[in-house]
Amino acid sequence: MTPIRPRRLRAHPMLRDMVAGVRLSPKDFIAPLFVRLGEKIKNPIVSMPGVFQMSPEIAVAELKRLQQLGLPAFILFGIADKNKKDALGSHAHDPNNAVCTTLKMAKDAGINMLAITDLCYCEYTDHGHCGPLTPQRSVDNDATIQRLGTQAVVHARAGADVVAPSGMMDNAVAAIREALDADKHADTSILAYAVKYASAFYGPFRDAAESAPSSGDRKTYQMDYRTSARDAIREARIDEAQGADMIMVKPGIAYLDILRDVTDAVAVPTAVYQVSGEYAMIKAAAANGWIDEKAIALETMTAFKRAGASVILTYHAAQLAEWLR
Ligand code: PBG
């Protein structure tokens, strides 16, 4: 019997390229940006090297750079000054808040990337939870989803192409879809954070967005990572049935099994979020000279696509676009 030699396909670099099932492109990535009201603000986030809190005009200058690098999309996270926070997160609905101001300034500056906004209240509430609380201090699900509809409309009016509810409230997608359609925004898409686990990997983000809960944790709304993939599939299918245009799995690297199972279970495209803690780990190890940052980032992104993601949210987006040029 002739021996079978899998190494033959690896012998020539051209052949390796040709049979590579997964190819990366700058078009795969969505760049997250943190915006706050003010001028000339560019505050570094210590645990996320290369990521900044920016005032709107600085964010727009950054968007010009990202557009030139060939990135197709950005997602905005709004940060509220302490004195603007209240129990309801009212500032989230202010059409002059940092997110809306940045959206308008980006349009005026001729940025033609896809504009995505995160829909949540944790950056806007004085207690840091993802919606108003009941007297028992649990997030009031049905009050929150009504408010999310309003927040979605405020963002759509300011120019958001896609809204991304990240609070893990039941039936948020249906409420948002209804509110958008009623305000004549039938073309505004919903990227649902359908499968989002209560994760320690969000630590650096909460410093960046100043959104850590002042007491308790998010385990009554975000998912328990000890549950089986069936719980993830259930969440994904519920959001798909309510009209989500895309389904997100979050975090990324520790949840590749979930990403694969969810991608196979829904008909809409899936997105994955490589979150702040994942980025921080790569940056910290690279800064020590312990790993090769570029090689690790490319390998990780390839794993996300291989596991089924159509799009990837990553703080490495700009660097990846440069590396892939
Ligand atoms: C807001 C939100 C969070 C992240 C995205 N949207 C934080 C949280 O749920 O506490 C985390 C993103 C990251 O860690 O990079 N609800």
Cβ partners under 8 Å of residue 38, min gap 6: 55
Which run of H or of E encompasses 163? Answer: strand 162-165
pLDDT at 28: 98
| Bridge partner list, 293 | none
pLDDT digits (tens, 9 = 90+) for 47-76: 999 999 999 999 999 999 999 999 999 999
pLDDT digits (tens, 9 = 90+) for 278-313: 999 999 999 999 999 999 999 999 999 999 999 999
Using a 6 Å cutoff on CB, does residue 208 contact ligand 1? no
Q: How far apart are the CA of 311 and the centre of ligand 1, in A?
A: 17
pLDDT at 215: 86
- CATH classification number, 23-324, choose in 3.20.20.70, 3.20.20.450, 3.50.50.60, 3.90.930.12: 3.20.20.70
Mean pLDDT along residues 136-158 = 97
The answer, yes or no, to whether residue 324 has pLDDT greater than 90, is: yes
Active site residue 250: yes
Q: CA 243 to CA 52: how far, in whole Å?
A: 33
Give the residue from 303, 323, 321, 207 showing the smallest Cα distance to 257: 303
pLDDT at 268: 98
Looking up tokens 């409309």 gives: 153
Substitution site in 45, 166, 279 for ligand 1 pocket (most atoms within 8 Å of beta carbon): 166
Burial annotation 193-232 (CB, 10 A radius, 16+ → b, else e): bbbbbebebbebbbbbbbbeeeeeebeebbbeeeeebebb
pLDDT at 207: 87
Q: In Å, how far are 147, 160, 204 from 130, measured between CA atoms?
A: 11, 20, 17
Q: CA 233 to CA 231: how far, in whole Å?
A: 5
The answer, yes or no, to whether residue 209 has pLDDT greater than 90, is: no
Q: Would you place residue 119 in the very low, low, confident or very high pLDDT band (cuts 50, 70, 90)?
A: very high
Torsion sign, CA atoms 4, 8, 10, 11: positive
Token digits of residue 188 = 């505004």
Q: CA 199 to CA 278: how far, in whole Å?
A: 11
Using a 6 Å cutoff on CB, does residue 202 contact ligand 1? yes
Active site residue 196: yes
